[in-house]
């Protein structure tokens, strides 16, 4: 129980740092608290007691102490999701090397999901180092050889690159960003080809449902662009946590139905 409490506390603090990454990285600000955290509206520096993960947001009711500007609920979501995912990974893998590597991968997915949501960009500063680290880690994994890691990266990125090319030939404009392709390099290198295709299928399904809902509820047209990374990253997290069980259950069901 003590380990879980420690993991929760570390996850909350790390989630707070991920919020810094999500806000600062796309606009080119330093991640090293220079300048110190401040309200985007009134520019007042945020005091340490107003910067406690989860607790401060709840006490302040999601508003700046000084000007009352709204603090996005996504801040709270990141600070809850991060320790929750860390605990789930710990319960599955204990304090193994895979646990720490998976926490790092999950952190990248969380940051990329919200960056793409807000800015429609997937920074190479995260995806390309993430791909390299995932590939290097494959040399130390018992469950995924380096060839499988490379195949996963090639399959995920290659599939989206093919979609990108076909869409451009037909519509004469981009249907995907190159950031989605580099994101799939990272996902594929860490998850392998089976869970990479699971990620693509799950993200496409949820993205299609979200697109239909936008058309119906917000009167968007078919040309409305959805940031695909916002769906790819959560799908990769589902694949990381439960993908093997879902795929195995599906294959068992498929085989029993034949």
What pLDDT, in 10s, does the model give residues 97-132?
Answer: 999 999 999 999 999 999 999 999 999 999 999 999
Q: What is the pLDDT of residue 213?
A: 72
pLDDT per position as a tens digit, 19-45 = 999 999 998 888 876 778 888 888 888
CA 12 to chain centre: 16
Contact (CB, 8 A) for 96 and 230: no
Q: Is 143 helix (H, G, I), strand (E, B) or coil?
A: coil
Task: Spell out a b/e string for 49-62, using b for 16 or more CB atoms within 10 Å of the CB, else e.
Answer: ebeebbebbeeeee
Higher pLDDT, 164 or 4: 4
**218: pLDDT confidence band, cut at 50, 70 and 90?**
low
Single pTM value for the model: 0.91
Rounded Cα gap, residues 16 and 225, in angstroms: 29
Rounded Cα gap, residues 81 and 183, in angstroms: 20
pLDDT above 90 coverage of the chain, percent: 66
Q: What is the DSSP letter of 32?
A: S
pLDDT per position as a tens digit, 49-98 = 888 999 999 999 999 988 988 999 999 999 999 999 999 999 999 999 99
Q: Which of 113-117, 125-129, 171-175, 238-242 shows the lowest per-residue confidence on average (mean pLDDT)?
A: 171-175
- The runs of H, that is alpha helices, within the chain are 2-24, 55-59, 73-93, 97-119, 124-137, 146-171, 178-217, 229-238, 244-256
Q: What is the pLDDT of residue 220?
A: 57
Q: Is 67 helix (H, G, I), strand (E, B) or coil?
A: coil
pLDDT above 70 coverage of the chain, percent: 92
**234: pLDDT confidence band, cut at 50, 70 and 90?**
very high
Neighbouring C-beta atoms of residue 233, cutoff 10 Å = 27
Residue 226 reports pLDDT greater than 90: no
**163: pLDDT confidence band, cut at 50, 70 and 90?**
confident
- In the chain, where are the structural domains located? 1-95, 96-258
Rounded Cα gap, residues 134 and 100, in angstroms: 12
């Amino acid at each position: 129980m003590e380990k879980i409490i420690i993991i929760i506390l570390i996850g909350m603090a790390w989630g707070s740092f991920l919020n810094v990454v999500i806000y600062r990285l796309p606009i080119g600000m330093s991640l090293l608290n220079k300048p110190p955290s401040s309200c985007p509206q009134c520019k007042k520096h945020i005091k340490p007691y107003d910067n406690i993960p989860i607790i401060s947001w709840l006490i302040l009711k999601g508003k700046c102490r000084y000007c009352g500007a709204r603090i996005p609920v996504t801040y709270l979501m990141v600070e809850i999701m991060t320790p929750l995912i860390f605990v789930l990974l710990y319960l599955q893998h204990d304090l193994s090397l895979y646990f720490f590597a998976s926490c790092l991968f999950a952190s990248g997915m969380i940051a990329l999901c919200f960056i793409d949501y807000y800015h429609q960009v997937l920074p190479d500063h995260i995806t390309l180092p993430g791909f390299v680290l995932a590939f290097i880690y494959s040399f130390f994994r018992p469950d995924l050889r380096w060839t499988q890691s490379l195949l996963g990266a090639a399959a995920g990125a290659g599939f989206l690159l093919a979609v990108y090319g076909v869409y451009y030939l037909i519509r004469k404009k981009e249907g995907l960003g190159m950031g989605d392709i580099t994101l799939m390099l990272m996902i594929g290198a860490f998850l392998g080809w089976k869970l990479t295709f699971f990620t693509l299928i799950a993200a496409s399904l949820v993205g299609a449902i979200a697109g239909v809902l936008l058309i119906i509820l917000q009167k968007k047209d078919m040309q409305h662009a959805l940031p695909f990374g916002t769906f790819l990253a959560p799908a990769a997290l589902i694949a990381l946590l439960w993908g093997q069980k879902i795929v195995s259950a599906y294959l068992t069901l498929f085989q029993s139905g034949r």
